[in-house]
Amino acid sequence: MRVGRTCLAVSSLLLLAAAAESRTLPKDAQFTDQFPLERCAEFATHTGAGAGGGARNQYFPLVVDRVWSLSNANCVAAGDCDELEEVQVSVLGETQVVDGVTTRVVEEREWVDGELEEVSRNFFVECVGTEDVYYFGEEVVDGEGNPLDGAWLAGTGDARPGVIFPGGAFLLGARYFQEVAPGVALDRAEHKASGLEFNANGFEFSDCVLVEDTNGLSDPKGKNPDAKVYCPDIGIVMDEELELTDILLP
């Protein structure tokens, strides 16, 4: 997924400064890039009523017709951001077969100062039982529909699925590849903190978690991470200075 910017909003920074730094895995744990998809007996492309086998990853729900809107308007108002950036994430009522697996299509649209900058179609599926949500790739175009770099599909070349969000308990210190497309996309994630409260733009959520993403291609040592906050049964609520401004819950 291509959401991700450069600085934290002040309200979120104050929140995250109080987050616990404890870990349950060694600091030098390697990023996992091998995932047991072959052991998954059933995949689900949606969460909630009627979901196959009870798909239920609480931090990355695939609820059809759910729409998130995020913006850096608070950062702009504070004078810390020069451009207004807005992102809309929609779980579409569409599926697409990627590498032999039926996945859910999640669309992201990004505007900069009111102009459509980028549209991506991301392909996710949850393994029923483990609750792991796998990332099978993305198609990316600019505001005029022209293909952009960074697109990849599992099963094409050396690309294979990564994990966008593991299921089960949130394990502090867990490190894993979200994208496994050598030479194209190698985004990684690390679990940094849990038990957070998110308060912004009239929203109040508790038991949220902090995940830091790094780019294994442009930042192999992970010196410039992007901070993302996810809340139970909601999904992503903060991505660097982008904060949740609206959510449609079908």
Burial class (CB in 10 A: 0-12, 13-18, 19+), 62: buried
Q: Which residues contact 5 (CB under 8 A, 6 or more apart)?
A: 72, 85, 226, 239, 240, 241, 242
pLDDT tens, position by position, 142-155: 999 999 988 999 99
Q: What is the pTM for the complete model shown?
A: 0.89
pLDDT, position 237: 97
Asked whether the beta carbons of 63 and 233 are under 8 A apart, the reply is no
Residue with tokens 């207004």: 84
pLDDT tens, position by position, 21-32: 444 545 556 899
Per-residue pLDDT band for 104 (boundaries 50, 70, 90) equals very high
Per DSSP, 12 falls in state H
19 pLDDT higher than 50: no
13 pLDDT higher than 50: no
Q: What is the mean pLDDT of residues 4-32?
A: 53
- What is the rounded average pLDDT for all residues in the chain? 88
pLDDT, position 28: 57
Per-residue pLDDT band for 47 (boundaries 50, 70, 90) equals confident
Phi, psi values for residue 104, rounded to 5°: -90, 140
d(CA 45, CA 103): 6
**CA 247 centroid distance within chain:** 16
Q: Which residue has the higher pLDDT, 29 or 248?
A: 248
Give, rounded to a whole angstrom, the gap between the first and last alpha carbons of the chain. 22
Q: What is the mean pLDDT of residues 38-59?
A: 78
17 pLDDT higher than 70: no
pLDDT tens, position by position, 198-239: 999 999 999 999 999 999 999 988 889 999 999 999 999 999
From residue 62, alpha-carbon distances to 81, 107, 185 in Å are 31, 12, 23
pLDDT, position 221: 87
Q: What is the mean pLDDT of residues 118-122?
A: 97
d(CA 105, CA 22): 35
H/E stretch holding 108 reads strand 101-112
